[in-house]
Chains A and B, each alone.
Chain A
Amino acid sequence: MPDAPTLVKCLIWDLDNTLWQGTLLEDPGVRLPDEIRDVIITLDARGILQSIASKNDHDLAWQRLEDLGIAEYFVHPRIGWGRKSDSVCGIADELNFAMNTIAFIDDLPSERAEVSFRAAEVRCYPAEQAASLPGRPEFRPDVVTVDARRRRQMYQASFRRDAERESFAGPDEDFLRSLELVMAIKRADEEDLSRVEELTLRTSQMNATGVHYSDAALRGLLADPGHEVLTVTLSDRFGPHGAVGVMLLEYRPGVWHLKLLATSCRVVSFGAGTVILNWLIDQAARAGVHLAADFRRTDRNRMMDIAYRFAGFAEDPCACLTSTSPASTASTASAGERDGVQCLHLAAAPRPGPTTMRLTAPDLTAGRVPVR
């Protein structure tokens, strides 16, 4: 029977822009299209198990699935910040299914490539093919037994909800390098700011400094010589990831004050936050200034907290934090906390460039090397 394809026993869904429309951390009201709901119900009735491999906040994503009334359809979901390939292989392990019976659907070519890179037998589908899956032969078993229809409930007996805990493992550097990532940091103009608008919304503060600046406030600072508004774009060999980050920097005597750093949750696992911080630290070192950074811990920006600390930011007192005296409190960084916002500090030293991506960025030190 060489013409009959191996049946898929489990379909693993990505969530953002695949199962639902939108990115949950940026839009809590992500919409589930009716045609996707139909696919889920149809496959379930055929005894094909369904699971989830998504880079998302586990609790928020699961809550959304429950609100949409479809959480019960998924077994062994892996929602966390780990590699998708680990999630897919982990789900196959849990189910004790061979890799060639697993299917994976995701809107991002890079994620499908990462899964294929480590589990070549898994069949990967782009998100736009979701509605057509039930019509494909590999999703059409000849007979659907009663046991098959109950299969999901059987597996759910062993359902465990500790997926996130087990799944934190970023992509390894070899894989990152194979993506040929290119990051571009540039001084923002009006159009660039429109592209990062969703990052500056209060609801998308995940992976950010936890300090909110409105789009209007940022636009108002574009022409201010005392401030720098920078945007970050990322691309890889599959194409652009688009605008993925925004920074607000204030130049002060002896210290540059990073007031906002927001990056899209899509690029956390590429180490984008660390690359941006290291570049800024290197620039500050060249300019002979210290760095201060506002940071407010939220339930969504743990990774950025770690990125700051590992980059060397600490709560050290330093004269640079109190040496300035502009009247506006908004531009005054005092050591310690205000409104839950910590002011972290770093005496900048030169840093090597990133090893996992190519970086193009402006020279912030031009005309700013201190007069001694």
Chain B
Amino acid sequence: MTTGQAITPVTAEAVTAEAVSEALTAFLAERIKTEVAPDQDLFASGLASSMFAMQLVVHLEETYDIAIIGPELKLDNFRTVQAMTALVLRLRDG
């Protein structure tokens, strides 16, 4: 596994996205007691409130050692597991 990641960065990236997505899904399952699909809108479906969104900001910052500030703090970045995963990867790369 480790060798595979080291050899092909593309795979490593895919694994990372998968890992982030899985960890987030598990975090959400624990917090909102619901299994969510990666593209499920957490806010439209009433599963999450803006209060909860704030907790997501802090959770992502601390879990992935990133700073989410300014324009990145828009609700759309936290709407789905997919969007949050993309945000994490983008900020870690940056």
Contact = CB atoms under 8 A, between A and B. Distances in A.
Give the one of A271, A311, A315 with max B CB within 10 A.
Answer: A271
Nearest to A309: B73
Interface stretch (A112-120, A202-210, A246-254, A300-308): A300-308
B58 A355 contact: no
B1 interface: no
Contacts of B54: 170, 303, 306-307, 310
Main secondary structure of the interface of B (DSSP, over half): helix
A314 interface: yes
7 contacts: A168-B58, A169-B55, A171-B51, A173-B51, A306-B73, A309-B70, A310-B53
Interface residues of A, number: 21
B50 interface: yes
Interface of B: 31, 49-55, 57-59, 62, 69-71, 73-75, 78
B92 to A, nearest CB: 18
A163 to B, nearest CB: 12
B70 A315 contact: yes
A309 B74 contact: yes
Nearest to A169: B55
Contact of A305 (B59, B73, B75): B73
A307 B54 CA distance: 8
Contacts of A271: 49-51
Give the one of B54, B70, B73 with max A CB within 10 A.
Answer: B54
B53 A173 contact: no
A56 to B, nearest CB: 16
A269 B54 CA distance: 10
Interface in A162-220: 165, 168-171, 173
A311 B50 contact: yes
A90 interface: no
In the A-B complex, list the 8 residue pairs whose CB atoms are closest, starting with the nearest: A309-B73, A168-B58, A271-B51, A170-B51, A274-B50, A310-B75, A306-B54, A310-B50
